[in-house]
Amino acid sequence: MKRFLPYIAVAFFASVPLWLQDQYFLHTLVVSGIFMLAAMSLNLLLGYTGQLSLGHVAFFGIGAYVSALTSLGFSVSIFGFQITHEPWPPVVGVILGTLVAGICGYLIGKLAFRVRGAYFVIVSISFAEVVRLVALNWVELTNGPLALPGIPPLTIGFEWTGYATLWGKAQNYYVVLVAIIIAYVIIKRLVYSPFGRAMIALRENETLAMSVGISVTKYLVLAAIFAGAMAGTAGGLYAHYIQIIDPMVFMFLNTVTMVIMVITGGKGTLAGPLVGGLIFGLAPVVLRSYVGPELQWILYGLLMILIVFVLPDGIVPAIERWFGRSSGNADDQRPLTLETSKAPQS
Amino acid sequence: MLEIRNLVCRYGKVTALKGISLTVPEKQLVVLVGANGAGKSTTLRAISGLVPAASGGIFFCGQEITGMSASRILSLGIAHCPEGRRVFPHMTVLENLEMGCYLRSDGKEISSDLDRIFSLFPRLAERRKQVAGTLSGGEQQMLAIGRAMMSRPKLIMFDEPSLGLAPNIVEQTFAIIQSIRESGTTVLMVEQNAYAALDMCNYAYLLEAGSMVLEGPGEKLINDPHVREAYLGAGLAHA
Amino acid sequence: MNAETTSRQPILAIEHVAVHFGGLIAISDMNFHVGEGELVSLIGPNGAGKTTAFNVITGFLKPTKGRVTFRGTSLNGLKPHEVTSLGLVRTFQRTSVFDKITVFENVLIGLHRRTAASLFGTLMSLPKERNAEAALREQAWEILKLVGIDHQADELGGSLPYGDQRLLGVALALAADPSALLLDEPVSGMNASETARFVSLLNKLRAKGKTILLVEHDMPMVMGVSDRIVVLNYGRIIANGTPSEIQNDPEVIQAYLGQGVKHA
Amino acid sequence: MDQLLQHLVNTLIMGGTYALLGIGLTLIFGIMKIVNFTHGELYAFGAYMMYFFAVILGMDFFLSIAFAIVAGMVLGAAIEFTLLRTKRGADIDTTMILMIGAWIVLQNAEQLTWGGIAKSVPSPLPTEPLVIGPISISYLRAMVLLIALMLIAGTYLVINRTKLGKAMRATFQDSGTAALMGVNISAIYTMTFALGSALAAAAGALLGPVFVIAPTMGDLASLKAFAIVILGGLGNITGAAIGGFILAFSEEIGAGYISSGYRDAMGFLIIIIVLLFKPTGLFARSERIG
Amino acid sequence: DDINIGVNMPLTGAFAASGDYVTNGAKIAVEEINAKGGVLGRKLNLIIEDNKSNPTEAAAVTEKLIVRDQVPVLLGAWGSSLTLATMPKLMQYQVPMVVETSGANKITESGNPYVFRIAATQHIEAKGFEEKLGLFNIKKVDFLVINNDWGRSTVTEFTKMLENKSIQVGYVEMMDQATQDVSSQLSKLKGSDSDTIIVTTAVEQLTLVLKQAQALGIDKQIITTGGSQNPDQLIEQAGSAAENTTHLVFFAPWEPDSTASPDKTKAFIDAWKAKGYDFAGLTESFRGYDGMQVIAAAIEKAGAVDPAAIQKALWDTKVDVLNGAVSFAKVGQAGAESAQSTPNIYFGKIENGKVHVLR
Ligand SMILES: Nc1ncnc2c1ncn2[C@@H]1O[C@H](COP(=O)(O)OP(=O)(O)OP(=O)(O)O)[C@@H](O)[C@H]1O
Ligand SMILES: Nc1ncnc2c1ncn2[C@@H]1O[C@H](COP(=O)(O)OP(=O)(O)OP(=O)(O)O)[C@@H](O)[C@H]1O
Ligand SMILES: [Mg+2]
Ligand SMILES: [Mg+2]
Q: In this predicted complex, what is the ipTM?
A: 0.86
Per-residue pLDDT band for C84 (boundaries 50, 70, 90) equals very high
Residue A273 domain-assigned?
A: no
Domain shared by C188 and C200, yes or no: yes
Neighbours, chain E (3 or more CB pairs < 8 A): A, D
Per-residue pLDDT band for A342 (boundaries 50, 70, 90) equals very low
Q: What is the pLDDT of residues E162-194, one digit of tens each?
A: 999 999 999 999 888 888 888 888 988 988 899
Inform me whether the pLDDT recorded for B125 exceeds 80: yes
Residue C93 domain-assigned?
A: yes
- What strands lie across the sheet with E3-9, from one edge to the other? E44-50, E3-9, E74-76, E97-99, E115-117, E338-340, E329-331
Inform me whether the pLDDT recorded for D281 exceeds 80: no
Mean per-residue pLDDT for A110-123?
78
Neighbours of E275 (CB within 10 A): 11
Domain shared by C152 and C204, yes or no: no
Domain shared by C120 and C52, yes or no: no
Closest chain D residue to B84 measured between Cα atoms?
D177
Alpha carbons C113 and A215: distance in angstroms, whole number: 10
Per-residue pLDDT band for B238 (boundaries 50, 70, 90) equals very low
pLDDT of residue A162: 64
Measured between CB atoms, which of E49, E55, E151 is closest to A244? E55
Residue A244 domain-assigned?
A: yes
Neighbours of C84 (CB within 10 A): 26
Task: Name the residue range of residue C151's domain.
Answer: 99-159
pLDDT of residue A126: 85
Q: Beta partners for A290?
A: none
Domain shared by C150 and C189, yes or no: no
Residue A166 domain-assigned?
A: yes
In this complex, do D181 and B74 lie within 8 Å of one another by their Cβ atoms? Answer: yes
Q: Is the CB of B135 under 6 A from ligand 2?
A: yes
Alpha carbons B132 and B149: distance in angstroms, whole number: 17
Residue C4 domain-assigned?
A: no
Q: What is the pLDDT of residues E67-97, one digit of tens each?
A: 989 999 999 889 888 999 899 899 989 999 9
Residue A276 domain-assigned?
A: no
Q: Is the CB of C26 under 6 A from ligand 2?
A: yes
Residue A287 domain-assigned?
A: no
Inform me whether the pLDDT recorded for D122 exceeds 90: no
pLDDT of residue A85: 84
Helix/strand/coil (H/E/C) assignment for every residue in chain A: CCCCHHHHHHHHHHHHHHHCCCHHHHHHHHHHHHHHHHHHHHHHHHHHCCCCCCCCHHHHHHHHHHHHHHHHCEEEEECCEEEEECCCCHHHHHHHHHHHHHHHHHHHHHHHCCCCHHHHHHHHHHHHHHHHHHHHHCHHHHCHHHCECCCCCCEEEECCCEEEECCCHHHHHHHHHHHHHHHHHHHHHHHCCHHHHHHHHHHHCHHHHHHCCCCHHHHHHHHHHHHHHHHHHHHHHHHHHHCCECHHHHCHHHHHHHHHHHHHHCCCCCCHHHHHHHHHHHHHHHHHCCCCHHHHHHHHHHHHHHHHHHCCCCHHHHHHHHHHHHCCCCCCCCCCCCCCCCCCCC
Kindly list the distances between the CA atom of residue E218 and the CA atoms of A184, D252, E186, E195, in Å, as whole numbers in the listed order: 59, 18, 8, 10
Measured between CB atoms, which of D115, D212, D259 is closest to E204? D212
Mean per-residue pLDDT for C126-132?
80
- Set out the domains of chain B in order of their start, with CATH numbers: 24-38+77-204+212-232 (3.40.50.300)
Task: Measure CA of the first residue to CA of the last residue in chain C; give whole Å.
Answer: 29
Residues D221, D43 contacting (CB under 8 angstroms): yes
Residues C91, C182 contacting (CB under 8 angstroms): yes
Whether the bond into E77 is cis, omega within 30 of 0? yes
Domain shared by C146 and C51, yes or no: no
Measured between CB atoms, which of C47, C162, C193 is closest to B233? C193
Residue A246 phi/psi, 5-degree rounding, is -140, 175
pLDDT of residue A340: 39
- Set out the domains of chain D in order of their start, with CATH numbers: 2-277 (1.10.3470)
Mean per-residue pLDDT for B170-176?
88
Domain shared by C187 and C87, yes or no: yes
Chain A residues closer than 8 Å to C99 by CB: 204-205
Tally of residues, chain C = 264
Q: What is the pLDDT of residues D208-244, one digit of tens each?
A: 998 889 888 888 888 888 888 888 887 788 888 888 9
pLDDT of residue D50: 95
Instruction: Please report the atom of ligand 2 found closest to the CA of residue B141.
Output: 26
Q: Which residues of D246-268 are buried (b: 16+ CB within 10 A; e: fewer)?
A: bbbbbbbbbbbeeebbbbbbbbb
In this complex, do C105 and A222 lie within 8 Å of one another by their Cβ atoms? Answer: no
Share of chain E above pLDDT 90, in %: 55
Q: What are the residues whose beta carbons fall under 8 Å from the beta carbon of C254, sequence distance 6 or more?
A: none
How much distance in Å is there from the Cα of D42 to the middle of ligand 1?
42
Inform me whether the pLDDT recorded for C242 exceeds 60: yes
Residue C63 domain-assigned?
A: yes
Mean per-residue pLDDT for B63-86?
89
Alpha carbons E177 and A72: distance in angstroms, whole number: 28
Alpha carbons C171 and C103: distance in angstroms, whole number: 10
Domain shared by C15 and C120, yes or no: no
pLDDT of residue A56: 93
pLDDT of residue C261: 45
Residue A208 domain-assigned?
A: yes
Q: Is the CB of D288 under 6 A from ligand 2?
A: yes
Task: Name the residue range of residue A245's domain.
Answer: 23-251
Q: What is the pLDDT of residues C196-231, one digit of tens each?
A: 889 999 999 999 999 999 999 998 899 999 999 999
Of residues A236 and D123, more confidence is placed in A236
Inform me whether the pLDDT recorded for C133 exceeds 80: yes
Mean pLDDT score of chain E, rounded to an integer?
A: 90
Alpha carbons E216 and E181: distance in angstroms, whole number: 12
Torsion sign over Cα C187, C190, C192, C195: negative
Inform me whether the pLDDT recorded for E218 exceeds 80: yes
Comparing CA positions, the residue from B182, B155, B172 lying closest to residue B2 is: B155
Share of chain A above pLDDT 70, in %: 90
Q: Which residues in chain D (62-91) have CB-CB distances under 8 A to chain E?
A: none
Mean per-residue pLDDT for C182-207?
89
Helix, strand, coil share of chain B (percent; to 5): 40, 25, 35
Overall number of domains in chain C: 2
pLDDT of residue E72: 95
In this complex, do A243 and E50 lie within 8 Å of one another by their Cβ atoms? Answer: no
Alpha carbons C210 and A21: distance in angstroms, whole number: 70
Domain shared by C92 and C112, yes or no: no
Residues C136, C104 contacting (CB under 8 angstroms): no
Pairing of strands E97-99, E74-76: parallel
Considering C159, C190, C207, which residue would you say is the last residue of a domain? C159
Residue C126 domain-assigned?
A: yes
* Global pTM value: 0.88
Overall number of domains in chain A: 1
Q: What is the pLDDT of residues A4-16, one digit of tens each?
A: 888 888 889 888 8
Inform me whether the pLDDT recorded for A337 exceeds 50: no
DSSP element (H, E) containing E186: helix E183-190
How much distance in Å is there from the Cα of C22 to the middle of ligand 4?
19
Torsion sign over Cα A288, A293, A296, A297: positive
Domain shared by C221 and C231, yes or no: yes
Domain shared by C90 and C143, yes or no: no
Q: Beta partners for E200?
A: E145, E225
Alpha carbons D15 and C205: distance in angstroms, whole number: 62
Q: Supply the angle between the helices D39-51 and D185-207 in degrees, to the nearest 10.
A: 60
Residue C56 domain-assigned?
A: yes
Residue C166 domain-assigned?
A: no
pLDDT of residue A159: 63
Chain A residues closer than 8 Å to C137 by CB: 341-342, 344
Mean pLDDT score of chain C, rounded to an integer?
A: 87
Alpha carbons D256 and E190: distance in angstroms, whole number: 11
Chain C residues closer than 8 Å to A203 by CB: none
Alpha carbons E218 and E254: distance in angstroms, whole number: 27
